[in-house]
Structure 1
Amino acid sequence: MTDTVYAWLVTHYVEVLGSVLGLVYIFLSIKQHIFTWPVGLITSALYVYVFLESKFYADMLLQVYYVGVSIYGWYHWLRGNSNSTGQLKVMRTPKKLYLPLILVTTALFAIFLFGLKYYTDSPVPFGDSLTTAMSIVATWMLARKYIEHWLIWIFVDAFSAVLYGFKDLWPTVILFVVYTVMAAMGYRSWKNDLIKQHG
């Protein structure tokens, strides 16, 4: 039994390391710690490889995007609000952004679905496209510290856990189940912070 577990860990060490760092990343983002971004960058780089090997092509491209947005988020959190000093504060998503965010999500979903369905051997083109499109928007919202990004992650993480189970990526399934719970915790934590700001 021990030999089997060891052999599995050796074979899947990149995925396991990515899962562990992923937990650290989500914990840091709940705490609004600036190290969210360098840890997220490393995690994403590892998952580029994991998803390429598993043929989750849209998710692989998503991780490439995460590497870039990690640099953007790192800079933006340090820079803070343009009209204030210090690190960026939690905000509600401006209503004027609702329609653009919905349109961007829909457009990304359509593009990924078309590409995955007709140009790859993806086993789950609809689900992969949906979670990828929503994740791109949610991560940008995280970089801007819009609290509603947590609500998107609750859905995306739960749905993703099901998809990864379909491909037997069990450490990643566990990670995303934990992500779902932590996303709910993150929303509550950020909401409390938002209340304190206006209290």
Structure 2
Amino acid sequence: MEQLLEYFGVITGFIYLLLEIRQHKAMWVVGFLTSLVYVFVFFFSKIYADMGLNIYYVAISIYGFKKWTCTKKSVTEEKVSDDPIFYRHITWPLLAGIASAILAIYALLYYVLHNFTDSPIPMGDAFTTSVGIVATWMLARRIIEHWIFWVIVNCVSVYLYYLRGLYPTMFLYICYAILAIVGYFTWKKKGINKERI
């Protein structure tokens, strides 16, 4: 059953990322399902912070869907054709806030994982989770640099999932890392920089 859930998560994870690159709002629905499945996959594998991260993904999928639906309505009112990709850039003050948030979340997660769970990889688990929380928030706000954060998270995750024997998920995250690079350049090439969206 655990392996079946993992394979289902891998398939929906691929679909999610392809939809994310195209900025199709259905990605939030697929992301909701993928995250829900991975809550259980990571629980069984004792990767507790990533399990918690996927609970967060379930919740932010609802937020992201609502946020993108409202943005879509405002874009439609402007009569923009061909369903373009909109994004904005990170600012220095926002980067400072993001770095502070990652550090605070990391410290809290590491403390909890190290002292109160049987997690075999508390440092890596805390790192990928803290960066993932912030990167998903950045995606919901259409900040293009979220792709860079995902390249880092996905590369670290590949190693963590290898250690835990989650080979299909490891393969998924190798693809995630590659497609995150593709996603960045797709948004950059085809997108419209819209600072106030």
Compute the TM-score of the two structures, normalised by the length of structure 1.
0.89
Distance 1:80 1:158 in 2: 31
Equivalent of 2:171 in 174, 192, 198:
174
Higher-RCO chain (CA-CA 8 Å, sequence separation at least 6): 2
Distance 1:25 1:11 in 2: 21
For 1:134, the equivalent position in structure 2 comes to: 131
How many residues get paired?
Answer: 188
Query: Structure 1 residues 196 and 146 mapped into 2: Cα distance closer, same or farther (>3 Å)?
Result: closer
Distance 1:145 1:119 in 2: 35
- Contact 1:90-1:193 at 8 Å conserved across structures: no
Distance 2:18 2:106 in 1: 28
Equivalent of 1:144 in 141, 144, 147:
141
Is it true that 1:62 corresponds to 2:53 in the alignment?
yes
Equivalent of 1:32 in 20, 23, 33:
23
Query: Structure 1 residues 111 and 197 mapped into 2: Cα distance closer, same or farther (>3 Å)?
Result: closer
Compute the TM-score of the two structures, normalised by the length of structure 2.
0.90
* Pairwise CA distance, 1:11: 5.4
* Pairwise CA distance, 1:99: 1.0
Is it true that 1:187 corresponds to 2:184 in the alignment?
yes
Distance 2:32 2:89 in 1: 25
What whole-Å deviation, never above 9, does each CA across 1:62-96 have from its counterpart, x for those lacking one? 000000000010011111189x5338821112332
Distance 2:8 2:102 in 1: 30
- Contact 1:49-1:60 at 8 Å conserved across structures: yes
Is it true that 1:122 corresponds to 2:112 in the alignment?
no
Unaligned 5+ residue runs, structure 2?
77-82
RMSD: 2.0
For 1:85, the equivalent position in structure 2 comes to: 75
Unaligned 5+ residue runs, structure 1?
1-9
Q: Which amino acid aligns with 2:37?
A: L
Query: Structure 1 residues 34 and 11 mapped into 2: Cα distance closer, same or farther (>3 Å)?
Result: closer
Is it true that 1:22 corresponds to 2:13 in the alignment?
yes
Equivalent of 1:99 in 88, 96, 100:
96
SS of residue matched to 1:89:
strand
Distance 1:56 1:80 in 2: 35
Distance 2:106 2:2 in 1: 33
Equivalent of 1:41 in 16, 32, 41:
32
What whole-Å deviation, never above 9, does each CA across 1:82-122 have from its counterpart, x for those lacking one? 9x533882111233211111110000000000000000111
Q: Aligned residues: percent identity?
A: 40
